[in-house]
Amino acid sequence: IIVLGGDGTLLGMATRIGQAGRDTPILGVNFGSLGFLTEVTLPELYPSLEAALSGRAHIEERLMLRSTVKRQGAVFASHVALNDVVMTKAARSRMIDLSVSIGEEFVTRVKADGLIVASPTGSTAYNLAAGGPIVAPSVDALVVTPIAPHTLSNRPIIIPASSTVRVQPHMDERDEVFVTFDGQAGFEIEEGDEIVVCRAEQTLHLIRPS
């Protein structure tokens, strides 16, 4: 698939490929302002395409995220994301209160503007702006980063990609908390919901220019 646009366009297509369970490679051509993922410039389009079609181009596998939202014990929604899953407060809300577990083990309770669970690819996106670490795409890991935490001890952590991150909000009637997937889709979550993030079953195949 040839994607003509910016990183947001590529993220939208990556989500569709992931949701379909396919491994179709993507060649991203940068028509936008950012080019972390869409690395091919317009003058490089045809040489890069020729290299891809002839089998000479390098194809990177990128870890993707599978996020499941459980409501009243049942699966309410399921999404695939390349960059991140973000839980955040509404513009006029107070800080939000989130319990974070890795697997079945409770890790911390975060009071902050939100929380990011990012893949290595997503480490240079919202995670980086929120003070999280840059992780090389080849590293098999996930990053959990609080957004503007109230407590100094709430710091970003890097965990094995085999881990499952479970997040539960603690809310009252004044709180508004949203979950978004790669900034492409999202919805408001409710008291009692559980957001589960883990490695997706499939990877994204990204064609790299020579």
Q: Which residues are catalytic?
A: 7
H or E element in which residue 127 lies = helix 126-129
Rounded distance between C-alpha atoms, residue 161 and residue 4, angstroms: 30
Q: How many CB atoms lie within 10 A of CB 147?
A: 23
121 three-class SS: helix
The CA angle 67-73-77, to the nearest 5 degrees, is 30
Determine the distance from the C-alpha atom of residue 112 to the mean position of all C-alpha atoms in its chain, rounded to a whole number: 19
Rounded distance between C-alpha atoms, residue 59 and residue 137, angstroms: 13
